[in-house]
Amino acid sequence: MAETTNTRVFYSRGKLLLTGEYAVLRGARALALPSKLGQYLEVAEGDESGVLVWESNSPSGRWFEARFRLPEIDIVSSTDQNKADVLRELMLTARQLRSGFLEREKALQVTSTLEFLPEWGLGSSSSLVSNIADWAKCDPFELNRRVFHSSGYDVACARSKSPILYRRVNGLPEIIAAKFRPPFGNNLWLVYLNEKKNSRNAVKAFAEQNVKEEILRRISDISEEVVLADDLDTFCNLLNEHEKLVGEMTGLIPVKERLFPEFDGCIKSLGAWGGDFILAATSWPEGEVRKWFGERGYETVLPFNEMTSND
């Protein structure tokens, strides 16, 4: 997307969390992967004085529109009140972090363009947070913390071109580059579960639960061991152990046990359990993988190597 003289363009990547948002919230380390697909934010001069016109697009077309009165950032109209409320909160919070943001603009046209479908849950919110923070020149992690109260791993992914090991230390992000190029990458598949999980609600639901320190330590160890796994069996053993630990921690049933007990391989939830994508690892050939999930109503099966960024 080209940037013209009067247009500012920002870009952030989507995300996949291989090992555990819930544990990261309590200080554990996780392996997080930026996706090859992301989100553009284009900010240009508008036509309506004192109005910010917002449009959100994806490969399936326009999926959200709103108009905000400036400088108050009051909602004038929208196609989705909840999305407009969150967007307004993001912009107002960015102003708190960076005085003067959107206080002197007369007319703006803002266009957000996703490279993936919004229901996929690959980070439409986190890449938006990153882009708005760049636009406002404020701290993206603080903006994310104040609005979404999540660990920030997804914002770290949005701003990275390669895998990372992520944790929070004293409330601040610790980001370490990770060389995760599994030789069995062709045996890994991302399968969409046909429903969008509200990770904001999932984070709130987990916030008050007690977690044993030994579980958090083991999850951190697993994250580091996954990076070093050089065969599919070792990788699957680690993911199965991780799923069991997160199940104990949250009281939720692991997705393989709940939906795919007959699958010949391992299955890992990604991000907040219960929706979006899963990671399926198997020695089956591509045709058999697609057929098996397709027969069960899951038509979106994407090759891992084609979806994850490892620049």
CATH of the domain at 302: 3.30.70.890
Tell me the percentage of the chain whose pLDDT exceeds 90: 74
Counting Cβ atoms within 10 Å, is residue 126 exposed (0-12), middle (13-18) or buried (19+)?
A: buried
Task: Report the pLDDT value the prediction gives residue 3, as an integer from 0 to 100.
Answer: 42
Structure tokens at 302: 């994407």
Whether 300 is covered by a domain: the verdict is yes
Whether 27 is covered by a domain: the verdict is yes
Last residue of a domain, one of 176, 203, 226: 176
Q: Which of 25-29, 68-72, 96-100, 280-284 has the lowest mean pLDDT?
A: 25-29
Task: Report the pLDDT value the prediction gives residue 200, as an integer from 0 to 100.
Answer: 54
Same domain, residue pair 284 and 201: yes
pLDDT band at 292 (very low <50, low <70, confident <90, very high): very high
Same domain, residue pair 105 and 210: no
Same domain, residue pair 127 and 140: yes
More confident residue, 81 or 4: 81
pLDDT band at 146 (very low <50, low <70, confident <90, very high): very high
The amino acid at residue 183 is P
Task: Report the pLDDT value the prediction gives residue 207, as an integer from 0 to 100.
Answer: 54
The predicted model gives 271-277 an average pLDDT of 66
For the stretch 90-130, pLDDT in tens is 999 999 999 999 998 789 999 999 999 988 888 889 999 99
Whether 99 is covered by a domain: the verdict is yes
Q: What is the CATH number of the domain that holds 139?
A: 3.30.230.10
Task: Report the pLDDT value the prediction gives residue 2, as an integer from 0 to 100.
Answer: 42
Task: Report the pLDDT value the prediction gives residue 280, as an integer from 0 to 100.
Answer: 97
For the stretch 219-260, pLDDT in tens is 999 999 999 999 999 999 999 999 999 888 888 889 999 999
What residue numbers bound the domain in which 78 lies?
A: 7-176
Task: Report the pLDDT value the prediction gives residue 18, as an integer from 0 to 100.
Answer: 80
Counting Cβ atoms within 10 Å, is residue 119 exposed (0-12), middle (13-18) or buried (19+)?
A: middle
Q: Is the pLDDT of residue 198 over 60?
A: no
The predicted model gives 200-209 an average pLDDT of 55
The predicted model gives 20-47 an average pLDDT of 90
Task: Report the pLDDT value the prediction gives residue 4, as an integer from 0 to 100.
Answer: 42
Q: Is the pLDDT of residue 275 over 90?
A: no
Same domain, residue pair 297 and 189: yes
Task: Report the pLDDT value the prediction gives residue 270, as an integer from 0 to 100.
Answer: 84
For the stretch 61-87, pLDDT in tens is 999 999 999 999 999 999 999 999 999
Q: What is the dihedral of CA 259, 260, 262, 268, to 10 degrees?
A: -140
Same domain, residue pair 172 and 113: yes
Last residue of a domain, one of 119, 153, 176: 176
Same domain, residue pair 149 and 203: no
Domain count, the chain: 2
Residue labelled with tokens 């603080």: 142
Same domain, residue pair 18 and 157: yes
Last residue of a domain, one of 126, 144, 176: 176
The amino acid at residue 2 is A
Same domain, residue pair 277 and 237: yes
The predicted model gives 150-159 an average pLDDT of 91
Q: What is the dihedral of CA 135, 137, 140, 142, to 10 degrees?
A: -130
